Amino acid sequence: MTKIEILDKLKSDVVNIPFEAENLSTNFNFTKNDVRYYFYGLFQNTINQYYLGWNILFFFEEVDSTEIYKLYNNQNLNEFKKNHIEKLFFIQDEKPKETYQRNLNRNLVLSSFSSFETCINLIFDNLVNKEEFNNFLNVTTRIDEKSFLKNFDENQKTRIISKLSINHSLYKKYRFLSKNKYDSMRKDDLDFIKFISDYRNSIIHNNGIFNTQGYEKEVFGVKFIFEKGKEVLIQKNENSFLINWKICLKMKEIFTRLISNLKHSELIEFPD
């Protein structure tokens, strides 16, 4: 993709968000203070910052610094140019450019996940009976134990299940909210939530280091390698340039799929 094609793609996705939110609002009678509507505003703000970040990068890659400096070459603005404007052109050097791109991608994932998680949690807290949820956790964990607890004795299993039940992760909450709601994409959505939770946690908590049992996951044709004690490795190929953008749009799709199937007509208010 050319730089113009990249920016056109990003801008198109950004400007389409309000239309999607309005369609959902019309179909399900969401008000603008409902978390199911408010999510799209949060999400649009995040991806718009990413679009602007690439816009700035491409601008400074292409612009002739001498032409910009001419605007400041007078007595009053020369110091401003020297102390501030010239610093903007650091982005034309390879190392600073790599850091800038890495931070753009990092902030995109963290901010998008934060909006996704916050809104899922608000829906969960408003809709879910905690006793029913705990019963659900006990049943599903007992089912899961057949695969991941088979080498432990009964006392160990009981202690592990007790600890797992305390940790009400995003994965568990989404698993409960989506039960009996839809089937065709649910397994894929849950697998993706596990992946994006691991990816996000390695970024925010451990400076990119993954600290649990390793695995590999292919997302949109790009392989992510999670290896304990190492940074998450993203194998670069022709699909990897906008992989973080695609991941964040996938979170939006999953959120849309959930709220479209919840069939809850009452307000779920987003707090002021």
Query: Taking 80 as the threshold, does the pLDDT of residue 271 lie above it?
Result: yes
Alpha helix segments (H runs only) across 63-169: 65-70, 78-80, 86-88, 94-127, 130-148, 154-166
**pLDDT tens digit string along 121-166?**
999 999 988 888 877 777 776 555 555 566 666 666 565 555 544 4
Q: What are phi and psi of 220, to 5 degrees?
A: 50, 40
Q: Is residue 252 in a domain?
A: yes
- Residue 254 forms part of a structural domain: yes
Domain that holds residue 157: 3-262
Quote the mean pLDDT of the chain.
Answer: 87
The predicted structure's pLDDT at residue 218: 95
Is 265's pLDDT higher than 60? Answer: yes
- Tell me if 30 is assigned to some domain: yes
Q: Is residue 119 one of the residues assigned to a domain?
A: yes
Question: What's the number of domains the chain is made of?
Answer: 1
pLDDT of 47 reads 97
List pLDDT tens digits, range 182-236.
Answer: 878 999 999 999 999 999 988 887 677 888 888 999 999 999 999 988 888 999 8
In 3-state terms, the chain is what percent helix, strand and coil (to 5)? Answer: 70, 5, 25
Phi, psi at 242, each rounded to 5°: -105, 30
Is residue 235 a part of any domain in this protein?
A: yes
Note whether residue 151 is domain-resident: yes
In a domain, 44, yes or no: yes
List residues bridging with 234 in a β-sheet.
Answer: 224
**Predicted structure pTM score:** 0.85
In a domain, 55, yes or no: yes
| 81-102 pLDDT, tens digit each | 888 888 888 888 889 899 999 9
